[in-house]
Every structure is written in C-alpha cells, then in structure tokens.
Amino acid sequence: MKHRRGSRPAAVPEPGPRGWPGRGRGSSTYVQAPDQWRATTVQACGLWPFAVGTGTPMTGVPLGRNLLSGATLCCDPISWFQRANLISNPSAFVLGKPGLGKSTVVRRMALGLAGYGVMPLVLGDLKPDYVDLVEAIGGQVIRLGRGRGYLNVLDPGEAVAAAARLTGDARSQVLADAHGRRHAIVAALITVMRSAPPTDREETVLDRALRVLDDTHEAARRGAPTLHDLLAVLRAAPEDVRAAALDRGDRTRYDDVTEDLEATLIGLTGGGRLGRIFAEPTTTPMRRDRPVVFDVSSIDDAQTDLQAAVLLACWSAGFGAISVGHALADAGLEPRRHYFVVLDELWRALRAGRGMVDRVDALTRLNRQRGVGMAMVSHTMSDLLALPSEEDRMKARGFVERSGMVICGGLPSAEMPMLTSAVPLTRAEQDLLVGWQDPPAWNPGVGAEAEPPGRGHFLVKVGGRPGIPVHVALTGVERELNDTNKLWHELSRSADDLPSPSATEDQIRG
Ligand SMILES: Nc1ncnc2c1ncn2[C@@H]1O[C@H](COP(=O)(O)OP(=O)(O)OP(=O)(O)O)[C@@H](O)[C@H]1O
Ligand SMILES: [Mg+2]
C-alpha cells in the first residue's frame, strides 16, 4: 500500500486512550496476571526466549513455591550443606506459632531426604507426629513408655558386635565410646531422679562399677547387663569399686559412701518415679539401616521428669548407633550413612529437667563432625528464653544462632526483638511473619473457621541474606500422613449419641 509521507492511512484502526470504543470493549481496571509456565531450560529456551531463572536454590528436597515469585524452592539442611555449600553446618531451626505447620515442613524434609538415602531419626516423638511417616517409608517404630516398651540404658547396642569386626584403635575407640555413653546416661538419669548431679566420688564409683560389670557379666548367656546388674555389683563391693569409693578398707565406710547411689539405683530399678523403663532388657533394638522413630507419646506431659529421662535415653541410643555406623564405615565394612536427626517440640525437652540444655548443646555443636543433619523445632524464642538459669538461656539462644538455617513461620510481634537478636530480619520480613500469625477468618456459611492464613508459610533465612518466603503445599499422600489433628475429626459424643437408658437396661437384662 502506498501513501504520502507524514500522513496516516485512514483505514488502520487504533484503540483510543480508553481502549477500543464500542460495546463490550473499553478500558479495564484489572490487569490480568499473565499465564506462567514452568519447564526445563532446555525446552523453555526453544519455545520462549525470555525465560528467567528461579532465583531460589534448587538443590535438595522440594519444599514449595516462593510466595513472591512462584519459583520452586528446594531446601533441606543436609543438601544445602553437603551439595550446595550454602550453609556452614547441616542444621535447621524451625520456629512458629502452634499449628502453622512446623512439624509438617520437617516431615517433608525427612521424607525427601529418605529419598536421597539419608536416614531420618526421630529421637523422641512426643506427639506423635512422625510415626505414620516412618511406618509408611518402611522404617522402625520403637514405642517406649510405662508398660509399652523398655530401653535398657546399659545395653551397648551394636557396639560390641561392631568392635568384634574392628581391630586396633578403631576397636578400642568404639568400646570406649560405648562405655562413656553408658556412664553418661546413668549419670544423667541419676541427675533427673535427684534433681541434682551425682558427686565426683559417685561418678568414679559408677565408672568403676560399670567396668567391673563389663568384665564379669556373661553377656552371651544372660544378655546385655541391666541396671539391676549394676546395682548388684555395687552391693557386692568388689575391690576396684571399693578403692574408687576410698573406703580405706572399712566396709561400713563403703556402705556410707555408696548409700545415696544405691538408693537412687533402687529407685531406677524398682519402679520409682521413672518407672522401670530403663532397667529391663530393651524391647526393640534400634536398627542403623532404617529410618527410626522413638514413639514416646504415651508419656503424659505432666511427667516432665520421665519425659526428660526418656528423651535423654533416646538421644543416647540414637547417637550411639550413629557413631557405631561411622566407625564401621571408616573401616570400610559398611556403606557410609548420613542421618537426619529430628528434635521436635524442643521447648518441652529443654524444660523437662536439668541437664537437658547441656545435652542438646553438645549434640548441636557436634552435628557436623558426627555426619548428622539436624532439625530442631520450637514455638518461639521466648519459649527458649523462659528457662530458669541465665546460663541455660544463653545456650538455648545459641541453638538458633548456630543453626545453618532458620525457618520461621507466623510469630507474634512481641517475638521480634528477641528473634532479631539471634537472626537478622528486615522490617519487611518481620511484618511478613507477624502477618502470618493472624487468626483465621470466621466463615459463617459453614459455621467453621477457615484455614489459618499463615499455615504452611515459612521464611527461610540463612545468615544475613534476604529470607525466602515459601508456601509448603501438601501432596495428597502427605495430607493423610500429616494429619496431627486426627483426634478432632470426629465430633464429641454428646448425650444424644449415648445409648438410651432403657436400651442399656435391656442390654443388662439380656
Ligand atoms: N502446608 C500445609 N497445608 C495444609 N495443611 C497443613 C500444612 N501444614 C500443616 N497443615 C496441617 O495443620 C495441622 C498442624 O500442623 P503441624 O502439626 O505441622 O503444626 P505445628 O506447627 O507442628 O504445630 P505444633 O506447634 O502444635 O507442633 C495438621 O493437621 C496439618 O495437616
Ligand atoms: Mg509440631
């Protein structure tokens, strides 16, 4: 078509400033979001040249979509430490108000890591939140509690069998480690029982008594020694133990020195406050080659002493098994296994008694050397800082400061000063977290509350870097496994549901 320079062809229609004139046309006040597709870079580049990268790390367990960009976020402490080099130690601390999905995000990580060949180890599930998952992936569920299952704290586990396969230093290290671990757990149980640690002399007596027990106990015939056997050694007063008690050849003096220790051991073996959970042969020995959960949910929350003692015993057994596994892998006798240790409901564990903070402190400092990734879950910083002694509070704050990544869900604004002192958060990030803890809307249509707005929303923070806001969407399978509100699905039985008095009478007569 030819036309003169400067003039416009009259035939070409153009929209005006308010869009096309006419019916059903015109301006739009709503800008529609463009459609988004995701594809691999190989395919997308051929279809569309303006593809953008995700901008979020893609190494590890797929967690969910970035709330701002929609990009996929893959994140778990082990992959970010081992493969992506994004964090300095393989641990994550998850904080958030109750019911917003903390355990759910840790379960997602555990499930994904199990797919990568990492063994999830839940050393003490107080709820239980992880039993269904571990069962579903073919793991081992160890139930502990009064009358439900025993965990013999003097059982060296697989250390003895492993030592038999090893030689030289490796062998003596495994045995020394098992001895130290058993000594430490008996001392810890005594601490819980008395609310005070054993004295130096008692520690030495205990150490000697354990050695005598190992030398004299016929494990092949009678199985692993128990606290009953330890008590018997203490009462038999062999020469070595008497020397450690400094009885100066006087049996009466020995009896005086060991009286308190004997009394505490009687309490531990004879069904005292802690029951007999630790004094009977182990019901289910822990396996190293499977995901494992210790289900301790049958222990009532009011029994804080027992909870503390059981958690300590689970940690001891779990980390004992891990170090045996590493010793065998070092010697080339077993494949190297990595573990993902979950300490959920950490605030309950820390409050459960003296010495718990030190235990967790020791575990969290060593996780890199021990080849374990760790996830710790708690509600708020104030929970951690509510511990009675200043020393414990400082240590508890250290758990958050030292973790490779901190994953925050909805939190109240009162938390922010404490949280920012441990993890730097910008004003915008703080507002985001405070917004996620808003109460759910009331839906009058169905007479029920909607989902809490912040459920499944988390901010992944690594050091001073900007946080990545992510929504964890559950898959259908997970939704069934993840239901921690199971007890609330059925409506309560009201008087109408109960059999009528006449029916009951008929039954009685019939
Ligand atoms: N991303 C999600 N999408 C949908 N439902 C979820 C999501 N996360 C959690 N839920 C549901 O919310 C409920 C509570 O989740 P969860 O037990 O993980 O919370 P929590 O933060 O660990 O709570 P608590 O502090 O009491 O341990 C569960 O029924 C779970 O199925
Ligand atoms: Mg939880």
Asked whether 103 lines ligand 1 (CB < 6 A), one says yes
pLDDT digits (tens, 9 = 90+) for 155-167: 988 888 899 999 9
User: Region 287-311: what's the mean pLDDT?
Assistant: 89
In this prediction, residue 503 carries a pLDDT of 46
Ligand 1 pocket: which of 380, 455, 470, 487 to mutate (most atoms within 8 A of CB): 455
Separation CA 274–CA 146 (nearest Å): 9
Domains and CATH numbers, the chain: 56-118+338-475 (3.40.50.300), 137-294 (no CATH)
Q: Which atom of ligand 1 is least distant from the CA of 98?
A: 25
- Nearest CA, atom 16, ligand 1: 101
CB 137 within 8 A of CB 114: yes
Distance 81 CA to ligand 1 centre (A): 26
Calculate the alpha carbon distances from 373 to 17, 76, 434, 472 in Å: 60, 9, 29, 21
* Residue among 291, 235, 288, 252 nearest 111 (CA): 291
Q: Point out which residues pair with 19 in neighbouring strands.
A: 16
pTM tops 0.75, yes or no = yes
Residue 260 belongs to what H/E stretch? helix 251-269
User: Region 221-242: what's the mean pLDDT?
Assistant: 90
Separation CA 13–CA 390 (nearest Å): 77
User: Region 134-149: what's the mean pLDDT?
Assistant: 91
Task: Report phi then psi at 499, rounded to 5.
Answer: -60, 145
- Nearest CA, atom 15, ligand 1: 101
Ligand 1 pocket: which of 130, 482, 487, 488 to mutate (most atoms within 8 A of CB): 482
Distance 482 CA to ligand 1 centre (A): 7
Share of the chain above pLDDT 70, in %: 89
How many other C-beta atoms are found inside a 10 Å radius of the C-beta of residue 289?
A: 12
User: Region 100-111: what's the mean pLDDT?
Assistant: 94
pLDDT digits (tens, 9 = 90+) for 448-484: 777 888 999 999 999 888 999 999 999 888 887 766 6
Asked whether 476 lines ligand 1 (CB < 6 A), one says no
Residue 264 belongs to what H/E stretch? helix 251-269
Residues in the chain: 510
